Amino acid sequence: MQEMSLSDLEFSHFRKFIHGVAGISLSPAKKALVVGRLVKRVKYYGLSSFGEYYRLLSKQPDERQVAVDLLTTNETHFFREPRHFELLWERLLPGHPEGERFKVWSAACSSGEEVYTIAMVLAEVLGDSAWEILGSDISTRMLERAESGLYGMERAQELPETYLKRYCLKGIGSKTGSFVISPDLQARVRFAQINLTEQLPFTERFDAIFLRNVMIYFQPETKREVLDRLLDRLRPGGWLFVGHSESITGLVKGLESISPSVYIKP
């Protein structure tokens, strides 16, 4: 069978589609990625071209979400960029007023590893006191994985042995070869589908917001809009964490740098 190709025009359509929906800018180098991610859907519908699939997206909202899920990058793991969690433990949490609820938002949580890493740190430092975490993502497929709290045992290598024993359960039966986050920890977490390029569906404020490794896919104007939106949900004195490979220099004013990729809102 001849391999299906993606024309430059078709690629431009999908670039405009994902930018319009999620604010993500696909570089010309991502053409092969689009082919790899979408070709199974084209074949699933028995279509003869990517152009036909693009036209189908305008008629089927559910398939639009499938395409968004496939075209968004979802690389993550437990304790990714560990210095952030050290700062959370050593500097932010000790200064939090005793008795006040501590709230964290993981704004691009993917399959949930970041959320549960934060939860383990909060459980270690704050114990049974009042704290909660919101995890959000644009991908419903990733959110389903995050809500399950179920991960392959190869991911266990990313966790300290004490955390694995304290906060995870070994899978049995059909879940053999995997582990699941403990129900007590999952009870402190909630997940929601949120598009960061649109108006936020809540007004609550957070003590810390993790916005890591997602802005690299946005153009400067989209970055400014997303940051303004999120910083409005960060309480005064709250911390913003971005990815180590990202920079917000010149995008927002008034933030104080605590450490590379970590900022405080005055």
Q: Which helix (H) or strand (E) holds 114?
A: helix 113-126
| Helix-then-strand count for the chain, H and E | 10, 10
For residue 255, the SS3 value is coil
Task: Measure CA of the first residue to CA of the last residue in the chain; give whole Å.
Answer: 61
Among 212, 211, 204, which residue's Cα sits nearest to residue 101? 204
Pairing of strands 234-242, 168-170: unpaired
Task: Give Rg (Cα) of the chain.
Answer: 20
Q: Are the beta carbons of 49 and 11 closer than 8 angstroms?
A: no
- Whole-angstrom distance, CA of residue 118 vs CA of residue 116: 5
Q: Are the beta carbons of 240 and 211 closer than 8 angstroms?
A: yes
- Whole-angstrom distance, CA of residue 9 vs CA of residue 239: 43
Q: Are the beta carbons of 119 and 189 closer than 8 angstroms?
A: yes
CA distances from 244 to 62, 215, 241, 255, 259 (A): 34, 11, 9, 17, 10
Name the active-site residue from 37, 41, 145, 229.
37
Name the active-site residue from 137, 188, 207, 233.
137
Active site residue 205: no
Active site residue 37: yes
Catalytic annotation, residues: 37, 137
